[in-house]
Structures are given as C-alpha cells and as structure tokens.
Amino acid sequence: MIEPTLARPSIDPTLKMLLDSFPTTFNAADGVEVARSRLRQLKVPPELLPELRTEERTIGHGELTDIPVRIYWPPSDREPLPVVVFFHGGGFSLGDLETHDPVARAHAAGAEAIVVSVDYRLAPEHPFPAGVNDCWAALQWVAENAAELGGDPSRIAVAGDSAGGNLAAVMAHLARDNGGPALRFQLLWYPTVTADLSLPSHTENAYAPILDRDVIEAFLSWYVPDLEITDPKALPTTLAPANAADLSGLPPAFIGTAEHDPLRDDGSRYAELLNAAGVPAELSHEPNMVHGYASFSLVIPAAAEATNRGLAALRNALHA
C-alpha cells in the first residue's frame, strides 16, 4: 500500500496576491542598482507606521567613525530601556535605513526597547568583511553609549533579518569571544548562517518569491566575489556562524523560518546546533510564509502574527 503524500502548505493567499503584483526577483546580470530599486518599491503606507521619536546619527568605534544609524525610542514610562541593535537584510548588498524603517519601528514598539538601526556598508562596493566591521563597531558604540540614549547597557540584544540575521549572529560570536558587550538575546529572522547550498530547502525553494536561486547567486557574487564555496564548513565564523567549533556561551535565540524560503533549513539547523550546545534557541517555523515576511507584517495579518511571536520573545527576554 502506498502511503499518501501530505500536501505542502501553500503561501498565505493575501501575501501571495501582494507578491504577484511586484517584480521582486533578479539575477547578477541585472546589476545591483536594479536590485536596490526593486527593494525600494516595497513600501508600507506611512499611516500604518508606529509613531516613534527618531534621531539620525553618525557613529563609530575605533577607526570606524562614520557609520550612519537611526535611533528609535518607543513611548514608554520605563527608564532605562533595553536596547536592540538592528541589522537590516538585503543580501549584504541591498537595503538601508529607509527600506527597513517599518521593521525597525516594529522592533521598538513590539519589544518596548530603544532600537539602533545600522546602515552598514554594502557590497559590491564594499565586499566582506566591511559590513561585519561596521556592525561590530556599531555594537561596541551602543554598549558604551547606551546610558546616554536612555538605555540599559546590561540589557542589549541584537536582531536582524536575512543577511542582517547573519550579521546579528556574527555579532553574538564576536561579543562572546572579545569579552563583551554581554548580550541578553539574539533575534534572527530567516538568517543565512551555514552557507550550505546543498540543504534541501535550497532545492525545494529554488524558484520561491523574494529570494530564489538567482538572487542568492547574485548576492554571493557581490559579497564574496572571489569565493568558491566548495566546503561551506571551512568558511570562517564571520561568514557562516554555524561553523563555529564551540557555540556554547552565546545568548539565547529566537529563530524565525518560512516554509517557502531557501534559507528555511539554515535557521532550523542553527537552532539545533545552539540547543545542542546548551544555548536556548526557540525555532518558530511559519508554514505559509516566504522569505522576508517581517517586512510585510504591517499589511499582511498572517505575517503580523508570525512577526509578533518573535517580538514577544524579544520583549520577554529584555524585560524579564
């Protein structure tokens, strides 16, 4: 007797309708400016954005002193507030403070925390490790200046989506290995952490919306142009944090993944590795979502539900 095959969950219909109306995919031949333009087209109606106090600054630490950031303060009577350092996604090549303004606002409001969103340098103009260096300098600056912002330096978390999830995970490793700053939590939205393109989700979602095989190849060609990934396990932790020989001592994590995402198995694998190393890691798999769902949380109810699960975990960790 042949066992029946379970049908794969479909993409949320409201989200699919939105995705079908926008051309989001591209390849390396299109060029990075085409890709950046397409990302900028995805905008949230201003009236849906939480109203928060914000400030633009240029910060840095050590030799890196010209990193733009946007700081968000939630409406709150608590003082001091925890601080979340947020790193935007976009394959290390796209995105900025504007494209991820709605996501950063959601973190500030949802976690009742000050958010410092980092506008790190992008490839191909600034390939690896320029972005890593900027993010590390920004995290150190936040730790040293949290009190001046009205924040609590003992309650700092990192968060990021996609490539930003990679950078947030890398920051957790750097903080652990360099004696601080001590991090309370890491919130990783559909992160790229293994660099293993042989994982099943890369094949199953080779033609998925938002992020497909061509898009991934373009990002890699821009971020690490001279790298051939013959053995992903040989890559440094600053590229693939899942490769660290020791994952113990890292901050607790919430990892959000989506069924219709090539990076689905990246996140689930990292959660397994963290838990095996004694690091509490909650995996929240969203069966009807695609890569980038946090960016749609203000307009798609199912994406809002998925995003709120991670923001609740972040809030609980910072206000425990």
Please give the average per-residue pLDDT across 115-136, as a whole number.
Answer: 98
pLDDT band at 115 (very low <50, low <70, confident <90, very high): very high
Q: Each residue of 224-256: pLDDT tens digit?
A: 998 888 888 899 999 999 999 999 999 999 999
pLDDT of residue 7 exceeding 80, the answer is no
pLDDT of residue 150 exceeding 60, the answer is yes
Q: Each residue of 286-314: pLDDT tens digit?
A: 999 999 999 999 999 999 999 999 999 99
pLDDT on residue 128: 97
* pLDDT, averaged across the chain: 95
pLDDT band at 22 (very low <50, low <70, confident <90, very high): confident
Please give the average per-residue pLDDT across 54-78, as a whole number.
Answer: 95
Task: Tell the CATH topology of 13-319.
Answer: Rossmann fold (3.40.50)
pLDDT on residue 95: 97
pLDDT on residue 249: 98
- Whether 162 is catalytic is yes
pLDDT on residue 5: 47
pLDDT on residue 25: 83
| pLDDT > 70 fraction of the chain, expressed in percent and rounded | 98
Please give the average per-residue pLDDT across 54-65, as a whole number.
Answer: 95
| pLDDT > 90 fraction of the chain, expressed in percent and rounded | 88
Please give the average per-residue pLDDT across 124-135, as a whole number.
Answer: 98
SS3 per-residue string spanning the chain = CCCCCCCCCCCCHHHHHHHHCCCCCCCHHHCHHHHHHHHHCCCCCHHHCCCCEEEEEEEEECCEEEEEEEEEECCCCCCCEEEEEEECCCCCCCCCCCCCHHHHHHHHHHHCCEEEEECCCCCCCCCCCHHHHHHHHHHHHHHHHCHHHCEEEEEEEEEEECHHHHHHHHHHHHHHHCCCCCCCEEEEECCCCCCCCCCHHHHHCCCCCCCCHHHHHHHHHHHCCCCCCCCHHHCCCCCCHHHCCCCCCCCCEEEEEEEECCCHHHHHHHHHHHHHCCCCEEEEEEEEEECCHHHHCCCCHHHHHHHHHHHHHHHHHHHC
Check 76, 93, 154, 162 and give the catalytic one.
162
pLDDT of residue 265 exceeding 50, the answer is yes
pLDDT band at 1 (very low <50, low <70, confident <90, very high): very low
